[in-house]
Structure 1
């Protein structure tokens, strides 16, 4: 059994040239693409792109409709909130202002209680 023989530079260069030559020959032997098949592929691709564009347009329209519905709902909620605030403000305006007694009125009430207490004790 023979041992491993390390390839020389010339051996490696020859192997590289042979590989390049095989690749060139492989490219030369390829047949030209069939124009009908290429046209069919192009038509299929165009149809696929048109369908994708249609789906994108439908999706975009659905998103816009959803945005419009949400905006309408927000506007309705805002109108209801404004109406409720207006009703509350009207109720506050219509409510009577509570009477805050003055210092003289407080003194008079205190004096009346004092007098009543003294009258009860005299009986």
Structure 2
């Protein structure tokens, strides 16, 4: 059988506009139907985003505290190292000063003994 229906331009235009109108109505109906759940989902997404931001801020705070703690420990270790180095230098200087003073005292004692011998010799001769 031959298709006797004439699908002219105006018929096709009308069919297309009817289809578009039906799609628009279906979309609006779907939006109205999903409105309560849409608001709930948006609220849930906001809550999740807020919780994510709070966790991120907490992680960053902990990282900052750990970084500060490590810096403080490094500074304390550096200060202890410097104090030990200063103490070693002071001990070395004190030992050097002590050795020098002993050498000077020994030299003074030797001179005193020499002077006594010289005086005793002069006393015997004179």
TM tier, smaller: 0.5 to 0.7
Greater helix share, 1 or 2? 2
TM-score using structure 2 length: 0.55
Cα gap change, 1:29/1:43 in structure 2, threshold over 3 Å: closer, same or farther? closer
Return the offset for 1:39: 4.4
Cα gap change, 1:84/1:42 in structure 2, threshold over 3 Å: closer, same or farther? same
* Structure 2: stretches of 5+ with no match in the other structure: 1-6, 97-126
* Structure 1: stretches of 5+ with no match in the other structure: 1-13, 100-123
Matching residue within 28, 48, 55 for 2:48: 55
Q: Deviations over 1:17-62 (max 9, x none)?
A: 32102223445678967x9975442111000000011011111111
TM-score using structure 1 length: 0.56
Cα gap change, 1:93/1:26 in structure 2, threshold over 3 Å: closer, same or farther? closer
- 2:35 is aligned with 1:42: yes
**Cα separation, 1, equivalents of 2:23 and 2:85:** 91
**Cα separation, 2, equivalents of 1:23 and 1:36:** 20
| Corresponding residue for residue 9 of structure 1 | none
**Cα separation, 1, equivalents of 2:68 and 2:21:** 70
**Cα separation, 1, equivalents of 2:31 and 2:83:** 77
**Cα separation, 1, equivalents of 2:22 and 2:63:** 63
Cα gap change, 1:71/1:21 in structure 2, threshold over 3 Å: closer, same or farther? same
